[in-house]
Amino acid sequence: MNGRRYLKWAGWSVATLLGLCALLFVAGWAYIDSLDLEREPKANIHATANDLPFMAHRITETRGRILAVVTSTHQRADSKRKLGYELTELSRPYWWFVANGYQVDIASPLGGEPTMVLDDGLTDADYAFLNDAQVKQKLRQTIPLSAVQPERYAAVYFVGGKGTMFDFPHHPDIQRIVRDIYPRGVVAAVCHGPAALIGVTLENGEPLLRGRQITSFTNEEELFLIKDAAEFFPFLLQDKLVAEGATFQQGPLYLNNLVIDGRLITGQNPWSTWAVAEAVIEALGHQPIARATTPEEISVQLLLTFKREGLSAAIQQKSVSPQSDKMLILMHAVVAGMQWRLQEAYQLQQLARQ
């Protein structure tokens, strides 16, 4: 009898467990369906430059040239982890610089075609970049840094991407280019791009970073995504910049943080890219052309309001804002949940659903 009772109890337990799993699956599916993500606007994968609204206001006169620099490192020899440069950190500034009257050249330490990293959430600007014949040619034949004539450029912009951590620091041609441009032009970088500034000294022998206000991808952001980042990379970028004498300005996790110190402009992460690009144009002495704020930027603003003022203020702001990026807000909810900030995670999904 005991054996029969045990088998009966086990059968009921298994059935109950399967029922609970099925219930959780149905509840989870219903929750995801209730978010109505299918109705979110989709990017045009066939977009061209003419499809970007701000290009209609493009400055037709040529104001000068800007050099964009990407990494040549696609992989560490002892790892399968893909490196390279971040598409969105190049494509969006590229069109913005062009729209504001600048020709853009693309260079890399080794020249040729470097490795591109594509993230989720691509926009029309990113697809227009990928679809453009002239851009494709520039990417296939990036200029070797050794061949760059810095006197031709009003600004240099260092694109982010994890590969920069291996071939940007202490690069002699990067130092030569920055040393020439900085006294008269603009030096800008985003995310991991500030790795280019490590080891740069000016003509008077002073380290560029000493006493400068700066930001970059933070230790917190790095270690959340790559637990062994301190071992995988030669250093953590935030720590290295501070060791070089910079005053590091850290913003909230995965949100826009722009730092301007004279002609040195840096952004913390990919969500700082538009802000860096606009700041470059302003630092070059121009009023940027008109551009509608993107849904991603609107969501970043909502998230910043949430961080500073709470859920009610963010919901109120959202009620009078144009279309936001629901997926970005939900991504922050997931990050909060993974860090056991459960109340914040719950509130963020509420914000996304509004």
Q: Give the pLDDT confidence score for residue 241 in this predicted structure.
A: 98
Backbone conformation region of residue 144, classed left if phi is above 0, alpha if psi is from -120 to 50, else beta: beta
| 258 and 275 Cβ atoms separated by less than 8 Å | yes
16, HSE (Cβ side, Cα atoms, 13 Å): 6
d(CA 240, CA 261): 18
What pLDDT is attached to residue 322?
Answer: 81
pLDDT digits (tens, 9 = 90+) for 276-319: 999 999 999 999 999 999 999 999 999 999 999 999 999 999 99
pLDDT of residue 66: 98
Q: Tokens 């995670």 map to which residue?
A: 345
The per-residue pLDDT for range 217-267, each reduced to its tens digit, is 999 999 999 999 999 999 999 999 999 999 999 999 999 999 999 999 999
| CATH number belonging to domain 49-283 | 3.40.50.880
Q: Pseudo-torsion of CA 173, 177, 182, 188, nearest 10°? A: -80
- pLDDT of 29 > 70? The answer is no
Please provide the size of the chain in residues.
354
Q: Indicate whether 94 pLDDT > 50.
A: yes
DSSP string, 300-336: HHHHHHHHHH-HHHHHHHHHTS----HHHHHHHHHHH
120: confidence class by pLDDT, cuts 50, 70, 90? confident
Which tokens sit at 299? Answer: 């969501």
State the angle between helix axes of 87-99 and 124-131 in degrees (0 to 180), rounded to the nearest 10.
Answer: 90
Residue in this structure with the two tokens 């606007």, named with its chain if needed: 41
Global pTM value: 0.90
Q: What is the CA radius of gyration of the chain?
A: 24
Mean pLDDT for the chain overall: 91
- Encode pLDDT of 165-190 as tens digits: 999 999 999 999 999 999 999 999 99
Strands (E), 41-196: 64-69, 85-86, 102-108, 116-117, 143-144, 155-158, 186-190
Helix (H) or strand (E) holding 19: helix 2-34
Query: 3-state class of 222 per DSSP?
Result: helix
Per-residue pLDDT band for 81 (boundaries 50, 70, 90) equals confident
Angle, CA 256 vertex, CA 325 and CA 33 arms, to 5°: 20
Location of structure tokens 């002892």: 78
Domain ranges of the chain: 49-283, 293-354
Residue 20, pLDDT > 60, answer no
